[in-house]
Amino acid sequence: MAEFQRDAACIVGIGHSAYGSRGSLADLGLSRLALDAVHDACRDAGLDVRDVDGFTGYCDDPTWPAELAVSLGTSEFRYSGLVWGGRGSGLPGAVTNAYMAVASGLANHVVIVRSLIQKVRLGQSVGAGVQPGDPIPLSVSYTAPFGMALPAAIYALKAQRHMALYGTTPDHLAEITINARRNAVNNPDARFRTEITVEDHHASRLVADPLRLLDCCMESDGAAALIVTTPERAADLRQPPVYISAVSMTGEYKWGTASFNTVDEDFVSTGHRRAARDLYDRAGLGPGDVDVALFYDAFTPSVIMSLEDWGFCGIGEGGPFVAEGRIRREGSVPVNPHGGNLAEVYLQGITHLLEGVRQLRGTSCNQVDGAAVALYGSGVGASPGGGVLLRSST
C-alpha cells in the first residue's frame, strides 16, 4: 500500500452565506446559497471565481456542480465528486475527494460546498416521505418497526447505554451545550448567543430520554464552502495556507442500523476509533498534538463519545472529562470554539472546518492561544465517516 502523502493539499479560502432558521431562506434556493458561499470563499482566498475548476460535496447535496460552474463562469470544469449519504459524517469524504483531485493534478482549485434548506424536518421519522409502493430504505426497515424512527431516539439509546456502563449523567450532557452556548456569545454569526445553565438544560422539554431539547441541535438554512489547492498554488493567494495533514474514512456501520449493534465497543461509540487510528498514523500526530477539537454535535452524547474515540480520554471517561471543564476554550482540549451545531448553525459539519481554519490562521472569535493543529471528527453512526487533521503553515 502506498504511503499517504501528507500536506499535499491545503485550504486557502473559507466562506458562507447568510444563516437562517429552518425554511427562512427557502425563497433564495439552494444554488443561490451555495454561490454566495463560494463567492465568499473566493474573496477570502483572493481567487477569481472563474478559476474554480472542481467541486465536491456530501450528503446527497442536490446543488449540481455543472450549474454552479455555469453561474461562476468557470473557465475549465475538470472535476466533480459526491459522497453519497452519510449525513454529517460525509464531510471527511468530501475533503478526501478534494485532496486527491488537487494532489493528483486532476484539478487546480476545488471547492467543497454544502448548501442546506430544511423544508423537511430532520427530526421527523427517517422514513418520512416514503410513499406506499416505494422501496423501503434498508436501515428504516431494520429500525422503524421497533420505534427507532427518529435521529434523537437513536442517539438517546446510545446515551442510555453509555450511562448504564460508565455512570454518565445528565449534568455531563448539559456541559456540552453550556460550552457551545458560552462560545457562541462571542460569535456574531451564531444563531444562539445566550448562555445557559445546568438548570436551564434540565428544565427543557424531554425529546427522547435522556435527551432534552437543549441536547439537540437547531435546524437551519444556509451554505458554506472551502477552497482546496496545492501548497505551490497557495503561494500566489491572499491567505496563509492551512495544510490538510491527513484524512480518514471508515464505514463501521450504517446510521440507522447502528442501533442494533450489540457489541458495546461499537454501540457506545461514534464508530470512529479505527478512523482515529488511521488519521493519526497518516499525519504522524496524536491526540496530544491537537490544540482544537471540532466534533460533530448534532446531539450532546456524540461529543462525549468523540472525546473517547479520538483518544482524549479513556473509554467511559468522557463524562468526568467534560465535568472538569476540559473542553472549554481555556481547557486542555477546547471543543467547538465557534459554538458548533448546537449554537452557531447546523450545516452538517462544514462550519466546523471553517472554524478549524480560523483557529489556525489566528482569526477566531474565541482564539485558542498557539493553535497549530485542529482535528475534525464527524458524526455518530453514519457511513462513511471519519476525520480531518489540519495544520498551520506558520
Tell me the C-alpha distance between 126 and 117, whole Å.
17
Helix (H, G, I), strand (E, B) or coil at 82: strand
- B/e letters for 7-38, b = 16+ CB within 10 Å, e = fewer, are bbbbbbbbbbbebbebeebeebebbbbbbbbb
Answer left, alpha or beta for residue 326, where phi above 0 means left and psi between -120 and 50 means alpha.
alpha
Q: C-alpha cell of 113?
A: 460546498
Helix (H, G, I), strand (E, B) or coil at 337: coil
β-pairing, 292-295 vs 373-377, is parallel
The one-letter amino acid code at 220 reads S
Tell me the C-alpha distance between 228 and 94, whole Å.
11
Tell me the C-alpha distance between 149 and 141, whole Å.
10
User: Using the 8-state DSSP alphabet, how is residue 242 labeled?
Assistant: E
**Measuring CA to CA, which residue among 305, 378, 296 is closest to residue 336?**
296
Instruction: Pick the catalytic residue from 166, 253, 346, 376.
Output: 346
Active site residue 296: yes
Q: Which residues are catalytic?
A: 296, 346
